[in-house]
Amino acid sequence: MTKFNRVILSAIALAFAAASAHAQAIMVDTTPHPGVIAIVGGKLLTVSHGTIENGVLLIENGKITAVGTAAAVKVPKGATIVDAKGMTVYPGLFDAETNLGLTEVASDQVNNDLVEPSDEIFPQMHVYDAFHAETEHIPIDRFNGITTAIVAPRGTDTMPGQDTLIQLAGHDRDQMILTRDISLAMNFGDGQKRGGGFGAAAGGPRFPTTRMGEISQLHQALIDAQEYMKARAAAANKPAETEPPASDSGRGRGAPSAKFDLKNEALIPYLKGEKPVVIGVEEGHDVEAIMELAQEFHLKIILSRVTHSQGVLDKIASYHVPVIIGPIYDLPEAGERYDAVYSLPAELAKRGVKVALASYENEFIRNLPYAAGYAVAYGLPYDEALKSITLNPAEMFGVADKYGSLDTGKVANVVIANGDPLDVRTDVKQVYIDGIAIPMVTRQTRLRDEYMPKQ
Amino acid sequence: MASPHMHLSLRRALRYLLALAACMLPLSVAAQTIPDLVIKDGTVMTASHGTIQHGAVWVHQGKIAAVGTIDEVIKAAPAYATVVSAAGKYVTPGIIDPHSHSALGTDVNEATSPVTPSMMMIDAFDNTDRALYFALAGGVTTELLLHGSANMIGGQNISIKNRFGRSRDEMLFAGAPRTIKFASGENPKRVYGSRNQLPSTRMGNFEVMRQSFEDAKVYMAIWDAYNAKVAKGDKEAVAPHRDLKLEALSDVLRGKLLVEIHCYRADEFLTEEAIAKQYGYKIRAFHHALEMYKVGGEIAKDGTGIATFADWWGFKDEAWDAIPWNAVMSMREGVKVSLKSDSNDFVRRLNQEAGKMVHYGGATEDEAIQMITLNAAWIMGVDDKVGSLDKGKDGDLVIWNTDPLTSYARAEKVYIDGDLYFDSSLPGYGVTHFTGVMHGGGFGGSDDEDTAEDYDGGAL
């Protein structure tokens, strides 16, 4: 038995020990392992610097320590050799927006924590407070090579909370959560109205029921936070007794308050442009309206969705902001050609826009690579498609120093598959997260094996 | 007293005549105006007898006249045939979706009673729904448009050929057998249970079914007795009351309708089969059937097929044990397996769903293609007419830019009865027969996707 096999088997044993009998996913401790793993003989899709045939990739202490040809990279003595001959090796895939861990069975409202619907402006909501690390979805999604994801609140409110970056393995929540509050979720359009759509309130319509209402509410929230930020800064430079009397975020009650306030506090890093605001918007005219507001406050913007913005693609390119697109399976609207949405990634990439793809939900995350493949069918260059689910989202969220490509020094999130990562026929053989070989076992493989007819 | 019946019968007779007239139309159109078509030099995936490299297909008067190598087909076809080169491309039979609610607007479910077998889905069919266009652009040429799953015994479905741009009646699938939709499990019990009506449990679900067939047996006996009297020349025999609902159920018991059952759980497949045996009808297919991998061997013996999702899971409790190996595992147990969309989205790329079966379980290329063509045709009872590239079958063909079982495939040209209906190289929509305004914005196609939102939104 090779050392590699022993590592895997002990990891599996550990996983089964950790999993309770009761609907709990297989938890894997991803504490970095000091031994060297050498993945040899495979075709390396580095994403950052092309394809290396018959490559060697070394992993040590959870990091990639070497990437190159067999001739260039020496495999150290004692390394665990993983034969990847005939295989394709690529970085773990990055889903730029999901609801992972916020819902289990979509039809069961009782376990849904998709969004806090009691108010529209909730920047102080943190999805990590609801993130259910033991969800069965995580092992099933990583089984197809997804290792990294943004968890966002459902986009049915204008400012529903802040997003969290996770990795799809860990012995508990804290090992899975990589960056809390990595970005702010903002949405605009039809779907956020309180009079109808998803946001329909049980007690009948209430403000905002129009786009004017949505924008004015967002505008006010940003003004309030800006005033708050100034008041806090001023108060910090003065003795405590001179602090102005408390008021309700300054609204119509004299000078802005410097009293600590979770909602306004949450917006400060975004007003300072320190972190990205992900703006989910579908229609072209909505993109223009919300961008006007976002630019007024100098927000660091990632545009998202844009599924029905075919008429303003040049304008989107002129903003010089990255765009998460999708889902590209959104149905075209009246008057649109059948491929209007499929071809968006190609059309935006052609205009020099950095694009990422996302699943935007919880059920079909494992199909993310196939969406990228479909974008290729509709004109996106292959290399861009692979980037759109690896390096590009990592760059958008400021974590490209750790994720998104096979480069020395990055976290060893690596996938070995028997073919093209974007093709539906491809079988993922092994996933590494933090350099740990993840047992390729899920609730679904267990069911499969239990019912597989005995030969 | 006779007038309402007269009215209904008249309406039905008229509809029947219209449908009958429609059945003649496409053929005559094909015969008169559609020139002979030869598609040559493609990789021809026949679905019935493997793949022919550098193959060709000849369509004459709307029917496939020859399939084979280029030489064989060119020799057989007339010189005046329109020749389309498929060099470097792939050719398959038209894709068949045996489970769709497209083009039925918001009329998918008559959710006012758990037993509504006399609902005729043709009454809701909107042939200008753009969902049909999207499906066509995905290579889909035949669809079964079903009643929803609110009712244990739903309505009578319609089989269509996706001749998008033709009239409503020209889109009907001539000669397709009648089919009826049943449902079970969560949906009926939720819909009626939420109103504190029967059924609100699985016990209630099946009780409703058994009682319906008990009623139908009585009704059938009364009519059988009357018909026997008439056959004996009894001029005094009084015709019993005609009841559309019981008449439809009697037709189920008489085997005149293919029974298509929305059903997820393994235990419910077994119960459904037991009830079918008790009352003497056959189940053509379980739809969704996400737990078939647990009891495939048993269901295979009953000759029931499945129309299943490739990899949907976890969207409701009864989909919790779904695994993406279900289709291939069930197939290996002898079950006739087809994939289906149940969605205005997924119908556009059933070829990709089939491609996943190569990955999940190791289906061969032929098996994967059959799941979206020949086996789907069997589910609908039209496998003698469509679903494979064989002499005598309808000239329904798709030319793909590349292997349809990959992520990279696009339908480039779609032919129905040898007539070009979609060509992606054309400007605008790429459709050849449609003029006017497309409708849309109805049900969204799925009865089970985003279940809670759909139902809360009043879709039922």
Is A323 within 8 Å of A356 (Cβ atoms)?
yes
**Cα separation, A170 vs A178, whole angstroms:** 11
State residue A238's pLDDT score. Answer: 78
Percentage of chain A surpassing pLDDT 70?
89
Percentage of chain B surpassing pLDDT 90?
87
Average the pLDDT over B81-88 and give the result.
97
Q: pLDDT band for B28, please (50, 70, 90 cuts).
A: very low
Across the interface, whether the CB atoms of B311 and A366 are under 8 A apart is answered yes
ipTM score of complex: 0.91
- A71-89, pLDDT tens digit by residue? 999 999 999 999 999 999 9
Across the interface, whether the CB atoms of B314 and A370 are under 8 A apart is answered no
For residue A109, the chain B residues in CB contact (below 8 A) are 452
State residue A111's pLDDT score. Answer: 86
Token pair of A416, please? 């070995």
**What is the average pLDDT score of chain B?**
91
| Chain centroid, CA B138 distance in Å | 16
Which of A247-251, B58-62, B371-375, B400-404 is predicted with the least confidence, judged by mean pLDDT? A247-251
When scoring A88, A98, A99, A107 by the number of chain B Cβ atoms within 10 A, the one with the most, hence best to mutate, is A107
- B369-410, pLDDT tens digit by residue? 999 999 999 999 999 999 999 999 999 999 999 999 999 999
State residue A429's pLDDT score. Answer: 98
Across the interface, whether the CB atoms of A377 and B430 are under 8 A apart is answered no
**Cα separation, A188 vs A190, whole angstroms:** 7
Average the pLDDT over B213-226 and give the result.
98
Q: Which amino acid is at A218?
A: L
Q: pLDDT band for A202, please (50, 70, 90 cuts).
A: low
Token pair of B99, please? 């489970």
For residue A108, the chain B residues in CB contact (below 8 A) are 316-317, 452
Residue whose C-alpha is closest to residue B98's, from B257, B256, B260, B248:
B260
**Per-residue pLDDT for B455 more than 80?**
no
Average the pLDDT over A158-174 and give the result.
97
State residue B442's pLDDT score. Answer: 58
State residue A205's pLDDT score. Answer: 74
CB nearest B293 (choices: A377, A425, A451): A451
B314 to chain A nearest CA, in Å? 5
Average the pLDDT over B162-172 and give the result.
97
| Phi, psi dihedral angles at B276 (to 5 degrees) | -60, -40
Average the pLDDT over A117-142 and give the result.
96
Contacts 24+ apart (CB under 8 A), A332-335: A332/A308, A332/B130, A332/B134, A333/A308, A334/B130, A334/B438, A334/B440, A334/B441
Across the interface, whether the CB atoms of B134 and A378 are under 8 A apart is answered no
Predicted model pTM:
0.91
Across the interface, whether the CB atoms of A448 and B407 are under 8 A apart is answered no
Which residue of chain A comes nearest to B429, CA vs CA? A337
| Phi, psi dihedral angles at A311 (to 5 degrees) | -80, -10
**Cα separation, A431 vs A413, whole angstroms:** 7
- A5-26, pLDDT tens digit by residue? 444 444 444 444 443 333 456 8
Across the interface, whether the CB atoms of A105 and B320 are under 8 A apart is answered yes
**Per-residue pLDDT for A1 more than 50?**
no
State residue B15's pLDDT score. Answer: 57
Token pair of A404, please? 């998104």
How many other C-beta atoms can be found within 10 angstroms of the C-beta atom of residue A224? Answer: 21
CB nearest B344 (choices: A331, A367, A453): A331
Burial A280-314 (b: 16+ CB within 10 A, else e): bbbbbebbbbbbebbeebebbbbbbbbbbbbebbe
For residue A136, the chain B residues in CB contact (below 8 A) are 314
Residues 72-111 of A with CB under 8 A from B: 104-109
A378 to chain B nearest CA, in Å? 8
Token pair of A51, please? 């394809």
**Per-residue pLDDT for B89 more than 60?**
yes
Q: pLDDT band for B460, please (50, 70, 90 cuts).
A: very low
**Cα separation, A166 vs A99, whole angstroms:** 11
CB nearest B407 (choices: A105, A331, A423): A423
B36 to chain A nearest CA, in Å? 28
**Cα separation, A324 vs B415, whole angstroms:** 36
For residue A341, the chain B residues in CB contact (below 8 A) are none
When scoring A112, A338, A454 by the number of chain B Cβ atoms within 10 A, the one with the most, hence best to mutate, is A338
State residue B451's pLDDT score. Answer: 35
Across the interface, whether the CB atoms of A337 and B430 are under 8 A apart is answered yes
User: Using omega within 30 degrees of 0 as the cis cutoff, is the peptide bond preceding A208 cis?
Assistant: yes
Establish if A201 touches chain B: CB-CB under 8 angstroms. Answer: no
**Per-residue pLDDT for B2 more than 70?**
no
Is B125 within 8 Å of B434 (Cβ atoms)?
no
- A357-381, pLDDT tens digit by residue? 999 999 999 999 999 999 999 999 9
Residues 135-194 of A with CB under 8 A from B: 136-137, 140
Across the interface, whether the CB atoms of B408 and A198 are under 8 A apart is answered no
For residue B401, the chain A residues in CB contact (below 8 A) are 377
State residue A258's pLDDT score. Answer: 84
- A411-425, pLDDT tens digit by residue? 999 999 999 999 999
**Per-residue pLDDT for B226 more than 90?**
yes
- A379-395, pLDDT tens digit by residue? 999 999 999 999 999 99
**Cα separation, B182 vs B263, whole angstroms:** 9
Across the interface, whether the CB atoms of A444 and B332 are under 8 A apart is answered no
- B241-298, pLDDT tens digit by residue? 999 999 999 999 999 999 999 999 999 999 999 999 999 999 999 999 999 999 999 9
Establish if A206 touches chain B: CB-CB under 8 angstroms. Answer: no
- B115-141, pLDDT tens digit by residue? 999 999 999 999 999 999 999 999 999
For residue B324, the chain A residues in CB contact (below 8 A) are 444
State residue B34's pLDDT score. Answer: 82
CB nearest B407 (choices: A334, A339, A377): A377
For residue B451, the chain A residues in CB contact (below 8 A) are 106-107
| Chain centroid, CA A432 distance in Å | 18
State residue B3's pLDDT score. Answer: 44
DSSP string, A345-395: HHHHHHTT--EEE---SSSSGGGHHHHHHHHHHTT--HHHHHHHTTHHHHH
Average the pLDDT over B321-338 and give the result.
98
SS3 per-residue string spanning chain B: CCHHHHHHHHHHHHHHHHHHHHHHHHHHHHHHHCCCEEEEEEEEECCCCCEEEEEEEEEECCEEEEEEEHHHHHHHCCCCCEEEECCCCEEEECEEEEEECCCCCCCCCCCCCCECCCCEHHHHCCCCEHHHHHHHHCCEEEEEECCCCCCCEEEECEEEECCECECCHHHECCCCCCEEEEECCHHHHHHHHCCCCCCCCHHHHHHHHHHHHHHHHHHHHHHHHHHHHHHCCCCCCCCCCCCHHHHHHHHHHCCCCEEEEEECCHHHHHHHHHHHHHHCCCEEEEEECCCHHHHHHHHHHCCCEEEECCCCCCCCHHHCCCCCCHHHHHHHCCCCEEECCCCCCHHHHHHHHHHHHHHCCCCCHHHHHHCCCHHHHHHHCCCCCCCCCCCCCECCEEEECCCCCCCCCCEEEEEECCEEEEECCCCCCCECCCCCCCECCCCCCCCCCCHHHHHHCCCC
**Per-residue pLDDT for B193 more than 90?**
yes
